[in-house]
Structure 1
Amino acid sequence: MFRVAICVDELHIYEQLKNHFTRLSSEYSYHYNIQFFKSGEELIHYYIEKGAFAFQILILDIEMDGINGLEVVNKIRFIPDHDVQIMFLSSHPKHVMDSFDVQTFQYLLKPIDYELFKINILKLCSFIQSSTNRYFTIKSEREHLVLRKTDVIAIVKVKHSLKQNKLTVITANQQYIINGTLSKYVNTLDATFMYITRSIIINLEHVRRFTSSSVIMSNNQEFPLSRSQAKKVKDLFTRYTM
């Protein structure tokens, strides 16, 4: 599932985009979690509250009351979030050149033709999925999800007799139950992910502090740290932070 923000101050444009996404989901296997913002100020406030990487795709109208789309994206890049993909909407082709300064991925003119929208969104989704160094795909019990690797805090084996080969993927905002083994995912991810026990993998990027027998993560969740792994984990964390 792709996390999408739509920021427009015209409700009929939002409704049109929402309908386009619904139609696209019915034609292809991609699914979208869409949030609507009626002003640039509202979107920026959300980013300040939630932090970087809140969304994978931003669709913004350039011409809005108050802060315009170009200013919004400049502020988001400054947070910084350099990975979110931008699609600008405008009634005026003259704004195309201005949008290059904020690394625009796509540019659509209003009114928004569905076929052109489909081509551009599918291209964008393919680009995100192909960025293997930044994203990886998991299959939850209901859908395929594309997650940014740095969003993942930990992956924990589910200890339940009726749930063999089940894992919980923990992010700051959500937890996902997926099929698979820890060994499969630790090989898929990079060197910032490591075992702290036989049933838990953590992301060193989210470590905040250690106790004598545990590690506390960025979401304040505490995980046990096995004696056999404690020195290795702490040494790797020290090298990582340096």
Structure 2
Amino acid sequence: MSLRATATITTVLVDDERLAREELEFLLRDFGDVEVAGVAENGIQALELIEKIEPDLVFLDVQMPGLDGLGLIRRLQDKNVQLPYFVLATAYDQYAIEAFRLEAMDYLLKPIDKERLGVTIQRAKKYLSELPAPEEENLVRTAAPKSKVVVRTGARNLLIDVGDLIYATIEGGVVRIVASGVTGESSYKTIDELQGDLDSEVFWRVHRGYLVNLNRIREVNPWFNSSLMLKMDDAKGTEVPVSRAHAKKLRSFFKL
């Protein structure tokens, strides 16, 4: 497997107790290669923050009002996108089995011990080093790129030229295509699958949840935490976030 350089581990902290968030953030300051990119005090805030920032690692409290930590993981899994690694933190150990069933990377008991936290960070570095680099994420194509794709609207299957495809996104496990004059569902199961049939020089995966046509970008603007926000060339002028992992490549492409 290709190795990915992990100079900095971007992290989000999720806990409904302010003192617990501040204590963990304080402990993480001693790990120079860890950046706390955002904090959330409940699962709903965390859901939005994780989708925007696309962190490498999430420290997640298990017990929170409303959407708890385990529910947040399940909600993200239902979106059928690549997930960050999760470290569950709780004062109770009865959640350990469920945590690992949901494929959490690690499980920390509160109050968090700094030495034990160091073991977690080393584990995260190992896991992240084995991920493909962003520029290596595209699928290997064995045939020429397709010139048309199908968009379903109601009972109709419309064939559109790929040049008219503005962007694709995934909502509730369904890939949706926005094109000139038509918006609808795709028969592709994942954005990766759709991307594999298109020209990789034109269609870029700028975010886990978005594939964009570079020729249909109207604006490229600075955004949250050194990232970018694209305004697309559809009727709504849809704004599409660019993850930090892909922002550098896009800046180079547009000479920004």
Query: What is the match of residue 84 of structure 2?
Result: 84
Matches within 5 A, 1:1-242: 1-25=8-32, 30-47=33-50, 50=52, 54-131=54-131, 133-135=132-134, 204-205=204-205, 208-209=212-213, 215-217=215-217, 219-220=230-231
Aligned residues: 154
Q: Helix, strand or coil for the counterpart of 2:80?
A: coil
Question: After superposition, what is the alpha-carbon deviation per residue over 1:156-201, rounded to whole angstroms, capped at 9, x for unaligned?
Answer: xxxxxxxxxxxxxxxxxxxxxxxxxxxxxxxxxx998966xxxxxx
Q: 1:192–1:205: 8 Å Cα contact kept in structure 2?
A: no
Q: TM-score, normalised by structure 2?
A: 0.52
Following superposition, the deviation at residue 209 of structure 1 comes to: 4.4
The runs of 4+ residues in structure 1 deviating greater than 6 Å are 190-193
**Which of the two has greater helix per residue?**
1
Query: Whole-Å Cα distance in 2 between the matches of residues 87 and 79 of structure 1?
Result: 20
Higher RCO by CA contacts (8 Å cutoff, separation 6 or greater): 2
The structure-2 alpha-carbon separation of the partners of 1:38 and 1:103, relative to structure 1 and needing over 3 Å to count, comes to same
The letter for the 1-side match of 2:109 is L
Give percent identity, aligned residues only.
14
Unaligned runs of 5+ in 2: 1-7, 139-195, 218-228, 234-256
* Contact map agreement 2:13 2:40 (CA 8 A) in 1: yes
RMSD: 3.1
When residues 110 and 208 of structure 1 are mapped into structure 2, their CA distance, relative to the original with a 3 A threshold, is closer
CA distance in 1, matches of 2:133, 2:102: 20
2-structure distance, mates of 1:57, 1:84 = 5
Query: Cα distance, 1:220 vs. partner?
Result: 4.1
For 2:31, the aligned partner's letter is: L
